[in-house]
Amino acid sequence: MPARAKRKAQAASTPAVVTPRRGKPPQRATASSRIYTELRSELVSMRRRPGEVISEAEIAMTYGVSRTPVREAILKLSDEGLLDVFPQSGIFVSRIPLAALPEAIIIRKALEETTARLAAERATASQILQLRSIVERQREADEAGDRTAFHQADELFHATVADVARHPGIWTLIQHVKVHVDRYRQLTLPVVGRMTQVIAEHEPILAAIEAHDPQRAGIAMEKHLDRLLRDISETQHTNPEFFASTE
């Protein structure tokens, strides 16, 4: 047998050496990520209310996993301020930090005023139709009294404005900033007429974008988000148990 063919035959018969990957085992990482994503959604949507006890054992049983990936997800959510972990007492859904809301809303308002202005400069006819269809979806959700669908469409409207502005990364940044604002907003949606009012505030934003009027679009977006600032005190008064003490 020629030497070259002999070397090929030896290589084929030699088992390949697999180098172990460092880091978390893939299955555990996947379980932790899934638990984190789904539990975060429950916390932000207020399906799990502030002050509610979180049981590691219960979550582990629900997902059919050990406590390790559950603990990893909980620690991550604790870092985001969504859970309070007390070693001697337990794990609790955090209350909404009242003092942090104005700053988060101001940051969001500044960023979204920019995306609204840029969207008005750059919107195509098809993008305007897309925004209009989202507003119609909100109208249908309002008529059906479906707060979950309404909130999802609301998020989509603002995300789409950022896309039209060609800066989708701004919306990604806003999502990190507004986590507690979203929890607070969930408490405003049940107020009679609130969803209808949001639609009425989206309409001038859309009209300004359609008219390619950046200044008017920025002002309309600013007015829309200003309401979040104005409603903080009333919402806290109505739901005091869901907010962290400012003392």
What is the distance between the alpha carbons of residues 61 and 66, in angstroms, rounded to a whole number?
Answer: 8
Predicted confidence (pLDDT) at residue 41 exceeds the cutoff of 60: yes
CATH label of the domain that carries residue 208:
1.20.120.530
Q: Which domain holds residue 62?
A: 24-94
Q: What is the pLDDT of residues 152-173, one digit of tens each?
A: 999 999 999 999 999 999 999 9
**Is the pLDDT higher at 21 or at 70?**
70
Same domain for 112 and 44: no
How high is the pLDDT of residue 246?
A: 57
Predicted confidence (pLDDT) at residue 180 exceeds the cutoff of 80: yes
What is the sign of the dihedral through the CA atoms of 45, 48, 54 and 57? negative
How high is the pLDDT of residue 88?
A: 85
pTM for the structure as a whole: 0.82
- Parallel, antiparallel, or unpaired: how do β-strands 53-54 and 90-93 relate? antiparallel
Same domain for 102 and 85: no
Beta-carbon count within 10 A of 74 CB? 22
Predicted confidence (pLDDT) at residue 31 exceeds the cutoff of 70: yes
- Taking phi over 0 as left and psi of -120 to 50 as alpha, with beta for the rest, 24 belongs to beta
What is the distance between the alpha carbons of residues 30 and 32, in angstroms, rounded to a whole number?
Answer: 5
Average pLDDT, the chain: 89
